[in-house]
Structure 1
Amino acid sequence: MKLLPPKPFYYESGERAVLLLHSFTSNPNDMKKLGRYLQQNQYSCYAPTLSGHGLPAEDLLSYGPSDWWQDALDGYQLLKDKGFERIAVVGLSLGGVLALKMGQELKINGVVTLSVPMDKEAAVLKKRIVYYAKRYKQIEGKEDQQIASEMAELDLLPFESLTDFEQLINRTRDHLASVVSPVCVMYGEMDDSSYKTSAETIFESVASDQKTIKGYANSKHLMTLGKDMNAVNQDILAFLNKLNW
């Protein structure tokens, strides 16, 4: 079975714009329910597909942080081209790292981060790729023997993009003090404990006058589709509503 790569989405509504950035090895589908919720509350939303995501792991590994950063910039520009002057960014995991980088380098109206790592080694990221690769091949309907053979070949591929990803996280963490936009930091209390530590680092390090941090008791990593989804959506909306549009 050939899997179709997920498409970006644009939900038009009010005159306030939000860029939605998904997580590593995932796709814009993670942000659709949040996007629809924001649309119903008069926010226009755009979620790009970060390069290589939604494709086999072998293809994903041919892209890296410079591509994903360009995707975020292109998404920002798309909203600018549609006439939106003020843009907020909501990012999940990798998307949250990019959102913080945008807060450092662009004029962003507000930044929301969910499940964002501030300390992640390339070796850990490789495990994520391996899991993603195997799951993708299973969904494609491949036989176990073929999957094992392809996984062995995957292990021989270069993983430089993951080292670049680790460096992106480190650079973003080291420049958090240059974020002055309002920031809302969220993490799942059922996620790995490192994400709570990362959330606290972000909250303490950004120079924003307006900033909040909150943990969600029933949430794992994928907060936008977890058990606390409704509370997460409502809190993001409340944060956005308080921004200076």
Structure 2
Amino acid sequence: MPKIALPQPFFFENGPRAVLLLHAYTGSSNDMRMLARALEKENYTVYAPHFKGHGTLEPTDILKANPSDWWQDTQDGLAFLHEKGYQDIAVFGLSLGGIFATKAMEEETILGVGTLCSPLYLNENNQVVPTFLRYVQTVKKIAGLSEAEIVRDLPKIKIGVEQQLQAIADYLPPIQHKIAAITKPFFIAQAGQDELIDAQSAYELQEALVQAPVSFHWYENSSHVITVGKEHHALEKDVLTFLNQLSWNEG
């Protein structure tokens, strides 16, 4: 079997402005690579770490992690940039990553934040469980397992992902409670053809941000992983416009 190159966290060090990019559930830093390259070209430094359990050839590694682990990964990402000498940092998160980008704005000193197709208001209108099971089948096939081996484990995995999804839902209320207190710039991007979460949750987030200047963007022809979709160039341009308007301290 040929050697499989697993995705790796990346750090593109360029200009004095730093951006932390947080990937999606079942995703990896590859979710954010095109956006990162677009930012790097415009003199931004970009760091995209991995959430615990992600980026491996064993998809059930994800089920061994929990939201507290992923919050720690977010804090570690900020600490990494601080250690590199960057004080002013913006944080953008895709889907799950947007939950922790928002929490970072609430708990840490962040210049600006962005959520991309992020379920800050998660409801029953989502396709996370079946999507996870398809992800499991795809990854295990790549890893060389037989169809029989893959199917055998699916019922147990389904229970695990349902429990994890509930853990994420239980993690959200304290974050939601503090959204109204956010006063710094907030970027919201939502795909019009989102097949994973209820796209209307983006409007709930916008309405909850009663004190923050909000930059809201709807990409009608995009699906959930908006960073690699057909409108990714428009997204990159909008993110750059938002970042360029932040109050960077470059003295």
| TM norm structure 2 | 0.90
Confirm whether residue 53 of structure 1 aligns to residue 58 of structure 2: no
| TM-superposed deviation, 1:159 | 5.3
Cα 1:212–1:60, aligned 2, differ >3 Å: closer, same or farther? Answer: same
Give 2:91's aligned residue.
Answer: 89
On the 8 A contact 1:122/1:166 being kept in 2, the answer is: no
Determine helix, strand or coil for the equivalent of 1:51: coil
Provide, for residues 73-123 of structure 1, a one-character-per-residue CA deviation record: whole Å limited to 9, x for no partner.
000111111111110001100001111111111111001111011114599
On the 8 A contact 1:183/1:208 being kept in 2, the answer is: no
Cα 1:211–1:158, aligned 2, differ >3 Å: closer, same or farther? Answer: closer
Give 1:132's aligned residue.
Answer: 135
Determine helix, strand or coil for the equivalent of 1:178: coil
| TM-superposed deviation, 1:59 | 1.4
> 91-100 or 209-218, which moves further after superposition?
209-218
Distance 2:232 2:126 in 1: 30
On the 8 A contact 1:177/1:205 being kept in 2, the answer is: yes
Distance 2:9 2:95 in 1: 18
Confirm whether residue 211 of structure 1 aligns to residue 214 of structure 2: yes
Determine helix, strand or coil for the equivalent of 1:18: strand
Partner amino acid, structure 2, of 1:73: Q
> 123-132 or 82-91, which moves further after superposition?
123-132
Give 1:66's aligned residue.
Answer: 68
Confirm whether residue 185 of structure 1 aligns to residue 188 of structure 2: yes
User: Any runs of at least 4 consecutive aligned residues in structure 1 with deviations exceeding 6 A, and if so which?
Assistant: none
> 203-212 or 98-107, which moves further after superposition?
203-212
| TM-superposed deviation, 1:57 | 2.5
Query: For residues 138-153 of structure 1, what are the structure 2 equivalents within 5 Å?
Result: 138-153=141-156
Counterpart pick for 1:225 among 228, 242, 246: 228
Determine helix, strand or coil for the equivalent of 2:216: strand
Partner amino acid, structure 2, of 1:36: R
| TM norm structure 1 | 0.92
User: Please, which runs of 5 or more residues in structure 2 have no aligned partner?
Assistant: none
Distance 1:146 1:195 in 2: 33
Distance 1:149 1:48 in 2: 32
Distance 1:27 1:68 in 2: 13
> 198-207 or 100-109, which moves further after superposition?
198-207
Q: How many percent identity over aligned positions? A: 36
Cα 1:196–1:124, aligned 2, differ >3 Å: closer, same or farther? Answer: closer
Confirm whether residue 105 of structure 1 aligns to residue 88 of structure 2: no
Confirm whether residue 43 of structure 1 aligns to residue 44 of structure 2: yes
Distance 1:203 1:122 in 2: 19
Determine helix, strand or coil for the equivalent of 2:64: coil
Distance 2:126 2:234 in 1: 33
User: Please, which runs of 5 or more residues in structure 1 have no aligned partner?
Assistant: none
